[in-house]
């Protein structure tokens, strides 16, 4: 697929475009200039991957407002900051898009999945604004992440968004192809220190029941994540098979305060039982469009009488 061009949402008139690019605006007290951001290039991210990954119109990572607070408190503060940023840039007709070398483009997208709606093959295959939110929530130097499914999200997370990543994949051929692509760009030694891939096939292996919790029992259970892994992950992505069943396991593995939980294709009615398990007092952001709905939650300790908050 061709490399995506720098992105400005279609349909903006010339006057609005000029105004959006020239106007600096305030987000939670931080000045941000869209024109400067569109011209800047971010190379690497403290990972030694200079030249591998670059962003067009990259959003700033929000700084915690209370340095003395816990890591979980920092994530909660960044959530409020980030959702405001997303809403304001969306109103200006701007969105961030990451670009990568051809060697790191993973998978394919149907023509209707345009970059303004969902991530490209250089990015997670999620709703566009969910990708921006993840970038602003995850701490690249310390975040410990888990994902059900592998692909372009794996590369994006490892390229400066998390410190370590565990991936669970049911399809051996796909897992092999993704591994080979990542090794060709990142190098085996880099991946050895940061990435663990588990291939867990369904039982029986030729089953076509993609959402059956019995067929994918071992895949969901992820027994290789022992008791010491409970409540230890800063980010958990549910984007593979048997997603409703994955919620039970994910909620036990996610950090209880400041952990980030993601579900893609949340518009599918058969994920409702999984969604219903998420505590209602957690923060929630729903990034929805005509092609995809991605929900991002941030865990938090309950307070008496508190209801779930939606951005």
Query: What are 48-77's pLDDT values in tens digits?
Result: 332 334 444 456 665 554 444 677 788 999
Q: What are the residues facing 197 on neighbouring strands? A: 167
Q: Taking 50 as the threshold, does the pLDDT of residue 34 lie above it?
A: no
pTM for this structure? 0.80
State the average pLDDT over residues 238-265.
97
CB distance 88 to 25 below 8 Å: yes
Backbone angles phi, psi at 172, to 5 degrees: -65, -45
H-assigned helices in the chain: 14-22, 34-39, 71-92, 128-137, 152-158, 172-186, 188-194, 217-221, 243-253, 272-275
17-310 maps to which CATH number? 3.40.50.150
Domain ranges of the chain: 17-310
CB distance 236 to 213 below 8 Å: no
Give the pLDDT of residue 59.
66
CA dihedral (217, 287, 41, 4) positive or negative: positive
Give the pLDDT of residue 258.
96
Report how far residue 67's alpha carbon sits from residue 65's, in angstroms, rounded to the nearest whole number: 6
Long-range contacts of 15-18 (CB under 8 A, 24+ apart): 16/93, 17/93
State the average pLDDT over residues 237-255.
97
Nearest-5° Cα angle at 174, 112 to 275: 65
Report how far residue 50's alpha carbon sits from residue 20's, in angstroms, rounded to the nearest whole number: 30
Give the pLDDT of residue 91.
82
State the average pLDDT over residues 184-192.
93
State the average pLDDT over residues 274-293.
97
Give the pLDDT of residue 93.
80
DSSP 228-260: GGTT-BSEEEE-SSSHHHHHHHHHHHB-TTT-E
pLDDT category, 184, cuts 50, 70, 90?
very high
Cα 99 to the center of its chain, rounded Å: 15
Give the pLDDT of residue 304.
72
Give the pLDDT of residue 309.
55
203-237: per-residue pLDDT in tens?
Answer: 988 788 888 899 999 999 999 999 999 999 999 99
Give the pLDDT of residue 239.
98
pLDDT category, 13, cuts 50, 70, 90?
very low
Report how far residue 98's alpha carbon sits from residue 58's, in angstroms, rounded to the nearest whole number: 8
User: Who wins on pLDDT, 310 or 239?
Assistant: 239
CB distance 288 to 263 below 8 Å: no
Q: Would you call 56 helix, strand, or coil by DSSP?
A: strand
Only one residue has tokens 């209602």, namely 280
Q: Would you call 6 helix, strand, or coil by DSSP?
A: coil
Only one residue has tokens 């960044």, namely 78
Report how far residue 53's alpha carbon sits from residue 12's, in angstroms, rounded to the nearest whole number: 28
């Amino acid at each position: 697929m061709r490399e995506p061009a720098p992105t400005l949402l279609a349909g903006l008139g010339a006057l609005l475009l000029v105004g959006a690019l020239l106007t600096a605006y305030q987000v939670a007290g931080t000045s941000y200039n869209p024109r400067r951001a569109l011209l800047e290039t971010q190379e690497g991210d403290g990972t030694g991957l200079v030249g591998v990954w670059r962003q067009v119109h990259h959003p700033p990572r929000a700084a915690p407002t209370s340095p003395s607070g816990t890591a979980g408190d920092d994530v909660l503060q960044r959530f409020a900051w980030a959702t405001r940023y997303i809403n304001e840039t969306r109103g200006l007709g701007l969105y961030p898009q990451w670009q990568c070398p051809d060697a790191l483009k993973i998978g394919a997208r149907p023509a209707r999945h345009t970059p303004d709606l969902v991530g490209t093959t250089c990015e997670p295959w999620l709703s566009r604004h969910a990708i921006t939110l993840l970038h602003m929530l995850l701490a690249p130097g310390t975040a410990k992440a888990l994902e059900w499914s592998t692909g372009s999200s794996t590369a994006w997370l490892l390229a400066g968004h998390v410190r370590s990543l565990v991936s669970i994949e049911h399809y051996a051929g796909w897992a092999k192809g993704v591994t080979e692509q990542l090794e060709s760009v990142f190098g085996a030694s880099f991946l050895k220190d940061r990435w663990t891939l588990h291939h867990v096939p369904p039982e029986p292996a030729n089953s076509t029941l993609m959402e059956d919790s019995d067929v994918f029992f071992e895949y969901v259970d992820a027994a290789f994540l022992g008791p010491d892994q409970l409540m230890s992950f800063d980010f958990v992505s549910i984007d593979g098979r048997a997603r409703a069943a994955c919620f039970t396991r994910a909620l036990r593995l996610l950090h209880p305060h400041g952990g980030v939980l993601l579900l893609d294709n949340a518009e599918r009615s058969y994920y409702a039982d999984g969604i219903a398990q998420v505590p209602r007092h957690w923060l929630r952001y729903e990034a929805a469009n005509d092609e995809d709905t991605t929900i991002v939650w941030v865990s938090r300790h309950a307070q008496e009488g508190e209801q779930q908050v939606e951005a």
